[in-house]
């Protein structure tokens, strides 16, 4: 049986994201299924279950890792529900290894007792610099291919210098100050969104609110990125099959990401795009991006964009082309297209997941819903809110709503897999344990966010924890809040999501009474890189 060595039984660490590693799903699955793998060396350090690079074992765990990506399970939350958030095998296996010692091999429990006193659970187990660890082969799979060549983006690149060089000229466009300059464009999306919802309410027809929230997120991304809507709200459909296409990319990335060698034989094969151009990796996202770009300016044969006033707007395309025209060496047309494509790919799903989670948990907790609505109504009576509600008004006058938003994202982070890293040459030492080079380690927000030491009663939906905790406790929770990642690789579009959430949710609750169409039926979730939800079908009544 596989031997585990532990320094502390807790599956988490108390001092935040730098100190916590996730129990990678395959090791737990190995224990559960009883595989006898004498050639595999595993170490669990304060919740980090770490994979050692043993080739003979690789064949076993890759199939298990890949299979967990598509597991479905409907989570359920009551005000004080028992542990029940098992949306995927990935989350289940990531946490249960350390939470239920009696159900696993005795080696885990006995070694835990031996080493339990070696560290203080209130102190950091390890603090690893982001420069110490390198990204794994999971990331390059998720680059676009243009002119038959892979084009790395801020997420997919493994080169830290390249990442810094690419991020430097675009970072300002993602700042809150720059984005709020385009708030009127967001409001125009909001007006179309509510016009469509009013039609459903007046006709007393149930609406798949989860789908329409994603239409809204797509059109908002279109305004920020291209200075125009993408047509999802106006047409009420998945324009050009983009939502479906992105789901295919996510499924491919989550599966092949566990076995990167397969990518070389599939979409990563240079012959593949020649034989099947329509299946070229990210082809659909790239073509959609070029279509949006060409609607504003002509892309010439040499790959250059005609000016035609393109650089004068406040959207990202305009800002970045202004940089390009001023200094082509600082930002090429290729760079602009890659950044735009990344926005199209990653800008809607993660935000829509968060919006669905907020609405769903509110509808499942009437007491909290009533409290949020009362806060909005009171701010309205004071004249503190305009129509539509601005981001700054929401932040300033709706603190309980802010806590609800944060708690929903804690309970249901958008990303469901670990953010993998490789230990570099020479290995590293963590808590006195040497971790060999090539070992895969990683952090999963689902694990961090359900640490009972940091978040008491972690499966419960308790927005008050973000308002009533002591400053020390609040700091501890903030350090373990990993929904947007951390460090230099923090989600660059974080502020876009926050603007949407803080604007659209209070406006929804201000205008409609919302209830689930089938209140006894739980939603379903699917982890294909992002933890998508299905089943947020609602009935709307105008207030």
pLDDT digits (tens, 9 = 90+) for 15-65: 333 333 333 332 332 222 222 222 233 333 333 334 444 433 333 333 334
- Give the C-alpha separation, 229 to 219, whole Å: 5
User: Which carries the bigger pLDDT value, residue 99 or residue 495?
Assistant: 495
Residue 405, domain CATH:
1.10.630.10
Chain-wide mean pLDDT for the chain?
Answer: 75
Q: What is the pLDDT of residue 247?
A: 86
Do 357 and 281 share a structural domain?
yes
User: Which carries the bigger pLDDT value, residue 80 or residue 93?
Assistant: 93
Does residue 279 sit within a domain?
Answer: yes
Structure confidence by residue, pLDDT tens digits, 147-167: 666 677 666 666 678 768 788
Does residue 148 sit within a domain?
Answer: no
- Give the C-alpha separation, 460 to 80, whole Å: 5
Do 398 and 424 share a structural domain?
no
Q: What is the mean pLDDT of residues 222-244?
A: 94
If one counts the domains in the chain, the total is: 2
Phi, psi dihedral angles at 410 (to 5 degrees)? -65, -45
Q: Is the pLDDT of residue 263 over 80?
A: no
HEC profile of 68-113: HCCCECCCCCCCCCCCCCCCCHHHHHHHHHHHCHHHCCHHHHHHHH
Q: Residue 109, Cβ neighbours under 10 Å: how many?
A: 15
Do 230 and 212 share a structural domain?
yes
What the block records as the tokens of 496 is 């876009």
Q: What is the pLDDT of residue 273?
A: 62
Do 266 and 248 share a structural domain?
yes
User: Which carries the bigger pLDDT value, residue 225 or residue 345?
Assistant: 225
Per-residue CA distances from 351 to 130, 365, 393, 491, 532 (Å)? 26, 21, 20, 12, 11
Q: Which of 322, 362, 148, 160 is nearest to 227 (CA)?
A: 322
Q: What is the pLDDT of residue 278?
A: 54
Do 299 and 161 share a structural domain?
yes
Q: What is the pLDDT of residue 211?
A: 97
Q: Is the pLDDT of residue 176 over 50?
A: yes
- Give the C-alpha separation, 96 to 453, whole Å: 16
In this structure, are residues 484 and 411 in contact, taking their beta carbons and an 8 Å threshold?
A: no
Which of 110-119, 226-235, 523-532 is predicted with the least confidence, judged by mean pLDDT? 110-119
Q: What is the pLDDT of residue 141?
A: 65
Which of 69-73, 116-120, 356-360 is predicted with the least confidence, judged by mean pLDDT? 116-120
- Give the C-alpha separation, 483 to 350, whole Å: 10
Q: Is the pLDDT of residue 8 over 80?
A: no
Do 385 and 312 share a structural domain?
yes
Ligand-binding annotation for 538, yes or no, is: no
Q: What is the pLDDT of residue 432?
A: 76
Which of 18-22, 66-70, 462-466 is predicted with the least confidence, judged by mean pLDDT? 18-22
Q: What is the pLDDT of residue 444?
A: 86
Q: What is the mean pLDDT of residues 429-446?
A: 79
User: Which carries the bigger pLDDT value, residue 300 or residue 133?
Assistant: 300
Q: What is the mean pLDDT of residues 274-302?
A: 72
User: Which carries the bigger pLDDT value, residue 249 or residue 536?
Assistant: 536
What do you get for the CA distance between the two ends of the chain, in Å? Answer: 61
Sequence-distant (6+) residues with CB within 8 A of 208 are: 536, 537
Q: What is the mean pLDDT of residues 345-370?
A: 95
Residue whose token pair is 């469509």 = 196
In this structure, are residues 267 and 280 in contact, taking their beta carbons and an 8 Å threshold?
A: yes
Q: What is the pLDDT of residue 81?
A: 38
What the block records as the tokens of 355 is 């919006």
Q: What percentage of residues in the chain have a pLDDT greater than 70?
A: 66
Q: What is the pLDDT of residue 135?
A: 53
Residue whose token pair is 């385009």 = 182
How is residue 119 annotated by DSSP?
A: S
Q: What is the mean pLDDT of residues 132-144?
A: 59
Domain boundary among 479, 508, 527: 479
pTM above 0.85, yes or no: no
For 222-265, the DSSP string reads HHHHHSS--SHHHHTS-GGGHHHHHHHHHHHHHHHTTSHHHHHH
Which of 262-266, 302-306, 436-440 is predicted with the least confidence, judged by mean pLDDT? 302-306
Do 213 and 102 share a structural domain?
no
Q: What is the pLDDT of residue 146?
A: 66
Sequence-distant (6+) residues with CB within 8 A of 153 are: 142, 143, 144, 166, 338, 339, 341, 342
In this structure, are residues 15 and 479 in contact, taking their beta carbons and an 8 Å threshold?
A: yes
User: Which carries the bigger pLDDT value, residue 68 or residue 430?
Assistant: 430
- Give the domain extent around 461: 17-127+415-479
Phi, psi dihedral angles at 305 (to 5 degrees)? -95, 135
Q: How confident is the model at residue 302 (pLDDT cuts 50, 70, 90)?
A: low
Does residue 5 sit within a domain?
Answer: no
Q: Residue 430, Cβ neighbours under 10 Å: how many?
A: 22
Long-range pairs, 199-207, Cβ under 8 A, ≥24: 200/540, 201/512, 201/540, 201/541, 201/542, 202/542, 204/539, 206/517, 206/537, 206/538, 206/539, 207/537, 207/538, 207/539, 207/540
Do 519 and 473 share a structural domain?
no
Do 370 and 337 share a structural domain?
yes
């Amino acid at each position: 049986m596989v031997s585990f060595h532990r320094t502390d039984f807790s599956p988490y660490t108390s001092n935040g994201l730098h100190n916590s590693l996730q129990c990678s799903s395959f090791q737990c699955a190995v224990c559960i299924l009883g595989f006898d793998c004498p050639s595999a060396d595993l170490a669990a350090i304060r919740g980090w279950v770490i994979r050692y690079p043993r080739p003979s074992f690789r064949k076993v765990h890759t199939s298990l890792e890949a299979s967990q990506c598509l597991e479905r399970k409907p989570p359920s939350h009551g005000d004080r529900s028992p542990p029940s958030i098992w949306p995927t095998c990935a989350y289940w296996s990531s946490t249960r290894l350390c939470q239920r010692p009696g159900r696993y091999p005795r080696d885990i429990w006995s070694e835990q007792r031996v080493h339990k006193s070696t560290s203080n659970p209130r102190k950091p187990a390890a603090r690893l610099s982001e420069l110490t660890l390198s990204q794994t082969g999971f990331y390059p799979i998720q680059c676009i291919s243009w002119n038959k060549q892979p084009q790395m983006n801020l997420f997919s690149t493994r080169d830290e210098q390249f990442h810094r060089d690419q991020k430097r000229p675009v970072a300002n466009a993602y700042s809150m100050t720059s984005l709020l300059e385009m708030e009127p464009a967001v409001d125009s999306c909001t007006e179309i969104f509510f016009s469509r919802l009013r039609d459903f309410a007046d006709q007393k027809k149930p609406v798949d609110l989860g789908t329409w929230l994603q239409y809204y997120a797509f059109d908002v991304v279109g305004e920020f990125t291209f200075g125009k809507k993408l047509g999802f709200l106006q047409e009420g459909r998945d324009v050009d099959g983009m939502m479906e296409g992105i789901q295919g990319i996510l499924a491919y990335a989550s599966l092949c990401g566990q076995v990167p060698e397969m990518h070389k034989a599939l979409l990563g094969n240079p012959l593949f795009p020649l034989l099947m151009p329509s299946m070229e990796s990210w082809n659909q996202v790239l073509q959609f991006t070029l279509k949006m770009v060409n609607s504003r300016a002509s892309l010439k044969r040499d790959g250059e964009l005609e000016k035609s006033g393109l650089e004068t707007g406040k959207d990202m395309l305009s800002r970045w082309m202004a940089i390009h025209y001023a200094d082509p060496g600082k930002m090429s047309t290729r760079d602009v297209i890659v950044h735009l494509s990344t926005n199209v790919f990653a800008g809607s799903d993660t935000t829509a997941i968060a919006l669905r989670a907020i609405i769903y948990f509110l509808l499942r907790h009437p007491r909290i819903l009533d409290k949020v609505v009362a806060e909005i109504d009171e701010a309205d009576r004071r004249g503190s809110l305009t129509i539509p509600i601005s981001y700054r008004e929401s932040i300033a006058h709706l603190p309980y709503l802010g806590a609800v938003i944060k708690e929903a994202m804690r309970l249901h982070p958008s990303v469901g897999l670990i953010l993998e890293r490789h230990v570099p040459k020479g290995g590293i030492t963590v808590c006195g344990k040497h971790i060999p080079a090539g070992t895969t380690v990683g952090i999963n927000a689902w694990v961090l966010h359900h640490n009972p030491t940091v978040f008491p009663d972690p499966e419960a939906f308790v927005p008050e924890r973000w308002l009533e905790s002591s400053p020390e406790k609040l700091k501890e929770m903030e350090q373990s809040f990993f929904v947007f990642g951390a460090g230099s690789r923090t989600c660059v579009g974080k502020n876009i999501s926050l603007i949407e959430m803080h604007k659209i949710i209070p406006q929804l609750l201000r205008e409609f009474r919302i209830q689930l169409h089938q209140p006894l039926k739980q939603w379903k979730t699917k982890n294909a890189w992002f933890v998508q939800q299905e089943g947020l079908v609602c009935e709307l009544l105008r207030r």
